Amino acid sequence: MNENNPFSAPSRQSPAAIVLFLIKFLKITVRQAWPALIPLLVGTRKLDFSDWYVYALIIGVAAIYLFFSIFSYLRFYYHLNEGEIVIKKGVLTRTVVNLPFEKIQTIDFKQNILQQVFGVVEFAIDSAGSKKQEVSLTAIPLHQAEALRQFILDEKKQKATGQVEEAKSEEAISHEDSLILKLHISDLFKVGITQNHFKSFGLMIAFSFWVMDQVRKITQENDFGEEEIEETVVNYANGTLFFWLLFTLFLVFIPFVISLFSTVFRHFNMQLSLSKDGLKLTSGLFNKKQRSTTLNKVQATAWGHNPLQKLLQISTIKIYPASSASIRLKNILTIPGGKEKHVNILLENLGLGSKDAQFKTHQISEFYYKRTFWIVGIIPAFLATVVSFWNWSFYSLFFCLWPVLVGSTTYLQYKKWKILVNENILRIQFGLFGLHNKIIFWHKIQAVKISRTPFQNKYGLANITFYQAGHQIKVPYISIGLAEHLQSYALYKIESDQEGWM
């Protein structure tokens, strides 16, 4: 540790923090309570500003806010300790945060208008934790913030010098990007055909409503009677089957074409390549997009297909890099329309072996569908039938279809569920009509949870969840023995891991 640490004594932020806290509290209140506040300002129950109690109320609220802002400032201390930053804060609930320098991913300065006026910055530290747990100092004078950042980065570097050289020698070996896969136009058309078209169907419906609205507005402006137009439309519609055919075609065909082309444009010339920096995915015709991740940061890899995709022999491949929960979805590398061989090449490059490597297969318990059949299927359907029988008489027997639906779908899911295990890898298989795969290294797990319902306790069953950085895998209804073995082995692999997981 550097002997002359200028930040070793606990210090407060700039007093400007009081104002910034005040504004932050106000923002939070307004954001959460605006539905309640609006009726107070407008409408029938609005506050009468001639009453004294309104002013008392406003002054009271303001005093509370001021009190909290001042005390938040007074009770907020930060300092740098042996290899870590320590923050003590909280008015009613005291919190002490310790963040070791090695865990720091990035340090950002942020400045809004007020912070510019006061000449302070927000000192935000990203530690790959959840969003609300990130460490952030609201008001630090700029020069001090820069010194603080420099100091932390220097300390961090000193610790990591050994690792840096290692990484350099690796660089020299593989310098060129190697192409893992490339999607051709024909692949993209397959993707466009087989994807879910419900989204564009919804857009189409919204568009139709918009058009109808416009037509109505025009007719009003032009002094056509509204009925007149409606009448013509209705006559026309009743008169010809042709209209309905056209209409249906419009609703079905147009969304299909829209999503087909948007898919082709979006994924145009998609390439996944491997370089010294890791994986890189580029695509797009109009908007070029590039996503990348280092190999070390890859947490899980998934591939799978729906029945249509299976027919055309393509799968969707997803690569999950480590990320904080808030930006998780943005970070996933998604490759639609990969082929068998692509999956294999990718897995090999990630060190996960081939798709057909040797695994021991385990299944989930049949109670998975039996239990769901009763709890989600039979019981609610029975209750619904009984309750509605007085009003709907025999129509309520339609509720009896519900258990059939629940039972058959969960049975299909039960049949698909598989847990494949070998020395280094955990792989799961699941799906309803399609089949999906997820594959992870044991040592890339960071926490394991076993949870059991009273029913599962009675029948020796359990659910197990494997947590990764920004990703998780849950396996339902396995025997408690298997769950404990999976847990013990995962812990053994994590705790003896030398490579790191992100």
Partner 1 sequence: MSEVEDTLFENADIDIQALPNVATSNFNPLAGNYFWVIFFRANLIFLALSIGFFIFLLQSGEVNGIKIWAYLIGGFTAFWLFLNIFLPFSFRKKGFSIRERDIIYKSGLWWTKIIVIPFNRIQHCEVQQGPFSKIFGLKSLTVFTAGGGSSDLKVNGLPDNKADQLKEFVLTKITNEDE
At closest approach, how far in Å is the CB of 160 from partner 1?
A: 10
Question: Which stretch in 245-253, 256-264, 341-349, 491-499 sits in contact with partner 1 by CB under 8 A?
Answer: 491-499
Question: Which stretch in 24-32, 231-239, 427-435, 453-461 sits in contact with partner 1 by CB under 8 A?
Answer: 453-461
Beta bridge partners of 182: 271
The label of the residue with tokens 């009675």 reads: 458
Whichever of 81 and 396 has its CB closer to partner 1, that residue is 81
Q: What is the dihedral of CA 100, 106, 107, 109, to 10 degrees?
A: -160
425: CB partners within 8 A, 6+ apart: 352, 353, 357, 359, 439, 440, 441, 442
Residues in the chain: 502
In angstroms, the Cα distances linking 424 to 163, 295, 420 are: 24, 16, 11
Instruction: Give Rg (Cα) of the chain.
Output: 30
Whichever of 413 and 456 has its CB closer to partner 1, that residue is 456
Question: Which stretch in 27-35, 47-55, 249-257, 493-501 sits in contact with partner 1 by CB under 8 A?
Answer: 493-501
Residue 363 near partner 1 by CB under 8 A: no
Among 44, 93, 106, 393, binds partner 1 (CB under 8 A): 93
Among 9, 36, 41, 92, binds partner 1 (CB under 8 A): 92
Residue 313 near partner 1 by CB under 8 A: no
**208 near 369, Cβ under 8 Å?**
no
- Nearest-angstrom CA–CA distance, 456 and 193: 42
Residue 25 near partner 1 by CB under 8 A: no
Output the six-digit token pair for 271: 């390439």
Closest CA to 442 of 390, 385, 485: 485
Whichever of 168 and 360 has its CB closer to partner 1, that residue is 360
Output the six-digit token pair for 29: 């209140």
Classify residue 308 by burial, with Cβ atoms within 10 Å: 0-12, 13-18, 19+.
middle
Residue 240 near partner 1 by CB under 8 A: no
- Nearest-angstrom CA–CA distance, 247 and 260: 20
Whichever of 107 and 254 has its CB closer to partner 1, that residue is 107
Whichever of 87 and 272 has its CB closer to partner 1, that residue is 87
- Nearest-angstrom CA–CA distance, 484 and 490: 10
Site string for partner 1, 388-427 (x = CB under 8 A): ---------------------------------xxx----
**219 near 230, Cβ under 8 Å?**
no
**459 near 436, Cβ under 8 Å?**
no
- 3-state SS assignment for residue 194: helix
Site string for partner 1, 128-147 (x = CB under 8 A): xxxx-x--------------
Among 15, 28, 59, 102, binds partner 1 (CB under 8 A): 102
Question: Which stretch in 67-75, 189-197, 310-318, 320-328 sits in contact with partner 1 by CB under 8 A?
Answer: 320-328
Among 106, 164, 454, 499, binds partner 1 (CB under 8 A): 454
Residue 96 near partner 1 by CB under 8 A: yes
Whichever of 132 and 168 has its CB closer to partner 1, that residue is 132
Among 208, 219, 388, 472, binds partner 1 (CB under 8 A): 472
Amino acid, res. 451: S
At closest approach, how far in Å is the CB of 200 from partner 1?
A: 32
Residue 360 near partner 1 by CB under 8 A: yes
At closest approach, how far in Å is the CB of 165 from partner 1?
A: 15
Residue 487 near partner 1 by CB under 8 A: yes
Among 223, 356, 495, 499, binds partner 1 (CB under 8 A): 495
Q: Own/partner pairs for 487-496, CB < 8 Å, 24+ apart?
A: 487/448, 487/450, 489/442, 490/426, 490/442, 490/445, 490/448, 490/466, 491/448, 493/424, 493/442, 493/443, 493/445, 494/442, 494/443, 494/445, 494/446
Residue 468 near partner 1 by CB under 8 A: yes
Classify residue 355 by burial, with Cβ atoms within 10 Å: 0-12, 13-18, 19+.
middle
- Nearest-angstrom CA–CA distance, 16 and 359: 60
Residue 429 near partner 1 by CB under 8 A: no
Whichever of 323 and 437 has its CB closer to partner 1, that residue is 323
Classify residue 360 by burial, with Cβ atoms within 10 Å: 0-12, 13-18, 19+.
exposed
Among 200, 435, 471, 477, binds partner 1 (CB under 8 A): 471
Residue 296 near partner 1 by CB under 8 A: no
Residue 329 near partner 1 by CB under 8 A: no
Among 469, 473, 475, 477, binds partner 1 (CB under 8 A): 469
# chain residues binding partner 1, by CB under 8 A: 66
**126 near 108, Cβ under 8 Å?**
yes
Among 304, 377, 470, 476, binds partner 1 (CB under 8 A): 470
Q: Which residues bind partner 1 (CB under 8 A)?
A: 83-84, 90, 92-100, 102-103, 127-131, 133, 322-325, 328, 359-360, 362, 421-423, 445-454, 457, 460, 467-472, 479-482, 484-489, 491-492, 494-495, 497, 501-502
